[in-house]
């Protein structure tokens, strides 16, 4: 009965019941409710895995857009992220994931199912840290208490972090040396407890970097039990089934059915297309760009005037670049990336939507299982029949991210790691992950073609990334690193972390708040853009239906953000 009460009261708090007067408390024995007596442990564990995936997916998009990984519209931050923004996340976590985890633990822990309970605790800890990172103070200690606490109060973000770290430590203890059976289906590491311990320690590592705890970072690194290779990568793997159920990556669903799909962030595409410049003055093109984005045209600037929504001009004329960009982003292009096919939108552009579907850049092969950019310049709106059919990943923590986080810590927290070596290894790990996606479009990569200039070869030979391309890129970045000031070195590490984290907006958002970098982060399109959300507003469904909670402001900071960096 305790579990039933918790589930029903969570639904009440989140607004699925209109008033306590309408609840007949003597009729709460729902025959369909999950209880220890009727729950299937493995079915419940499957629900936890899917709830965790959905929660992380819902959490990462808006923060990533604020950090320019994705496009953010709205004109101002207030219009871009109103209080309703995270209603879906709130319901997913507090009405689904956390009650499911509590119910799972009530069954698994007395029975000694350590892998079930330990991994569930890691997923809960990860989401608690994520909620604190993006929203600040949130319910935890009073949440899920059934009829005992109708309106749970919020815990401080520092207490939420502490609770999450304690859960991780509990999980590590349970998973260390356990002989317990694994779940019937565990979609991350096939029930390998040792791999989950690495995940738990890596979550602790990123939390320690957020909180500037260099001692804990060094201890975790010296312990060696963290994510360090592709085999350790913490990802959710999507399928390629279109219906019943649709198992494909949301990026694919967004751009490869019949709709135009969301805009790409011009700034993020620019990071790969032309941001870095060699000593010779030549632009350094990132080899990952053909895997990250698919262009529908070869020149986005050579279009009819009705195609553009540049705000300050009819055509993407760079002389109309906003004057307030000059102080921070003088080389970042305006409206589109000129002389290429990359067509997205500038930060907080709130213009109307023109008929630009045929030229709008799409998500590519990585991480969403879309199309590799092989200069075919086709339309991705093909009823879900092209590219990798959505067989992508949701990257929660990769070995490349671990390396680059450690590089950041070496530069900012004074750990004994070699930042330059980790910058290189992080880039190479990211490249390997991305290029590995060629396997899901092997027929495309192996197709032989003859180009207009007479060159012949396979798509892989002509357009794919090889070891030489990677070596050249790494050498170029390290040359820039060696010539840079201390600030410039950190800026390079941050940019590489942003690029390697593609598909994980939480890391981009935390990175920006920790460092205030990249140094050339593009401002909003308009000079008046409101206030950058150092944390986001609490969800409307929480504030309007919980008597113990009042709405907060964008200026409210998560405890580890000391406000020392300027964010815009």
Rounded CA-CA distance 503/482 in Å is: 29
Structural fold of domain 2-226+534-543: 1.25.40
The reported pLDDT for the residue numbered 37 is: 55
Domain boundaries of the chain, sorted by first residue: 2-226+534-543, 250-515
The reported pLDDT for the residue numbered 13 is: 39
Rounded CA-CA distance 137/193 in Å is: 31
Q: What SS3 class is residue 387? A: coil
Q: Which secondary structure element, helix H or strand E, spans residue 283, and what is its range?
A: none
363: β partners: 293
Rounded CA-CA distance 87/260 in Å is: 25
The reported pLDDT for the residue numbered 22 is: 36
For 303-363, strand residue ranges (E) read 362-363
pLDDT by 10s per residue, the chain, length 568? 444 444 433 433 333 333 333 333 333 445 445 555 556 899 999 999 999 999 999 999 999 999 999 999 999 999 999 999 999 999 999 999 999 999 999 999 999 999 999 999 999 999 999 999 999 999 999 998 877 888 999 999 999 999 999 999 999 999 999 999 999 999 999 999 999 999 999 999 999 999 999 999 999 999 999 999 999 999 999 999 999 999 999 999 999 999 999 999 999 999 999 999 999 999 999 999 999 999 999 999 999 999 999 999 999 999 999 999 999 999 999 999 999 999 999 999 999 999 999 999 999 999 999 999 999 999 999 999 999 999 999 999 999 999 999 999 999 999 999 999 999 999 999 999 999 999 999 999 999 999 888 899 999 999 999 999 999 999 999 999 999 999 999 999 999 999 999 999 999 999 999 999 999 999 999 999 999 999 999 999 999 999 999 999 999 999 999 999 999 9
List, as one string, the DSSP characters of 539-550.
PHHHHTT-TT--
**Rounded (10°) angle between helices 193-210 and 505-515:** 30
Which tokens go with 298? 């070869």
List, as one string, the DSSP characters of 410-456.
HHHT--SS-HHHHHHHHHHHHHHHHHGGGGGGHHHHT-EEE-TTS-E
Rounded CA-CA distance 360/295 in Å is: 7
Angle at 16 between CA 14 and CA 21, to 5 degrees: 100
The reported pLDDT for the residue numbered 18 is: 34
- Which of 340, 344, 336 minimizes the C-alpha distance to 262? 344
Rounded CA-CA distance 126/255 in Å is: 29
Q: Please state the pTM of the whole predicted model.
A: 0.93
């Amino acid at each position: 009965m305790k579990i039933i009460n918790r589930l029903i009261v969570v639904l009440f708090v989140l607004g699925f019941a209109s008033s306590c007067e309408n609840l007949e408390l003597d009729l709460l024995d729902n025959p369909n409710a999950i209880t220890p007596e009727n729950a299937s442990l493995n079915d419940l564990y499957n629900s936890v895995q899917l709830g965790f995936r959905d929660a992380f997916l819902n959490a990462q998009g808006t923060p990533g857009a604020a950090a320019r990984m994705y496009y953010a519209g709205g004109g101002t931050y207030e219009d871009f992220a109103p209080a309703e923004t995270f209603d879906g996340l709130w319901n997913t976590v507090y009405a689904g994931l956390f009650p499911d985890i509590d119910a799972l633990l009530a069954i698994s822990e007395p029975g000694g199912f350590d892998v079930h309970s330990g991994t569930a605790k890691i997923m809960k800890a990860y989401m608690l840290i994520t909620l604190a990172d993006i929203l600040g103070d949130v319910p935890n200690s009073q949440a899920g208490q059934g009829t005992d606490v109708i309106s749970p109060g919020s815990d401080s973000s520092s207490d939420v972090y502490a609770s999450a770290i304690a859960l991780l430590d509990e999980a590590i203890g349970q998973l260390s040396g356990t002989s317990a059976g694994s779940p019937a289906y565990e979609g991350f590491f096939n029930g390998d407890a040792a791999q989950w311990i690495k995940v738990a320690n890596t979550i602790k590592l990123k939390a320690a970097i957020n909180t500037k705890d260099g001692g804990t970072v060094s201890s975790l690194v010296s312990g060696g039990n963290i994510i360090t290779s592709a085999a350790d990568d913490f990802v959710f793997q999507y399928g390629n089934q279109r219906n019943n159920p649709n198992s494909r990556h949301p990026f694919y669903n967004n751009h490869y059915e019949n709709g135009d799909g969301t805009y790409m962030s011009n700034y993020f595409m620019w990071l790969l297309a032309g941001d870095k410049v060699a000593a010779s003055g030549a632009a350094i093109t990132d080899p990952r760009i053909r895997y990250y984005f698919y262009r529908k045209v070869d020149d986005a600037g050579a279009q009819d005037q009705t195609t553009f929504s540049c705000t300050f001009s009819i055509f993407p004329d760079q002389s109309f670049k906003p004057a307030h960009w000059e102080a921070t982003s003088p080389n970042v292009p305006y409206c589109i990336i000129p002389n290429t096919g990359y067509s997205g939108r500038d930060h907080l552009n709130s213009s109307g939507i023109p008929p630009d579907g045929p030229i709008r850049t799409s998500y590519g092969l990585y991480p969403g299982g879309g199309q590799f950019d092989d200069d075919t310049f086709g339309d991705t709106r093909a009823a879900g029949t092209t590219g990798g059919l959505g067989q992508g990943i949701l990257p929660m923590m990769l070995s490349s991210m671990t390396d680059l986080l450690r590089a950041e810590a070496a530069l900012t927290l004074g750990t004994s790691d070699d930042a330059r070596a980790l910058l290189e290894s992080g880039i190479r790990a990211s490249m390997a992950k991305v290029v590995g996606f060629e396997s899901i479009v092997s027929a495309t990569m192996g197709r032989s073609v003859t180009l207009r200039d007479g060159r012949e070869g396979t798509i892989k030979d002509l357009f794919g990334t090889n070891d030489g391309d990677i070596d050249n890129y790494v050498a170029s970045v390290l040359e820039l690193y060696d010539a840079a000031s201390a600030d410039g070195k950190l800026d390079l590490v941050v940019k590489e972390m942003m690029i390697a984290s593609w598909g994980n907006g939480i890391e981009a958002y935390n990175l920006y708040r920790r460092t205030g970098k990249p140094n050339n982060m593009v401002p909003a399109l308009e000079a008046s853009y409101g206030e950058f959300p150092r944390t986001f507003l609490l969800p409307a469904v929480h504030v309007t239906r919980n008597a113990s909670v009042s709405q907060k402001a964008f200026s409210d900071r998560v405890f580890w953000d000391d406000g020392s960096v300027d964010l815009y």
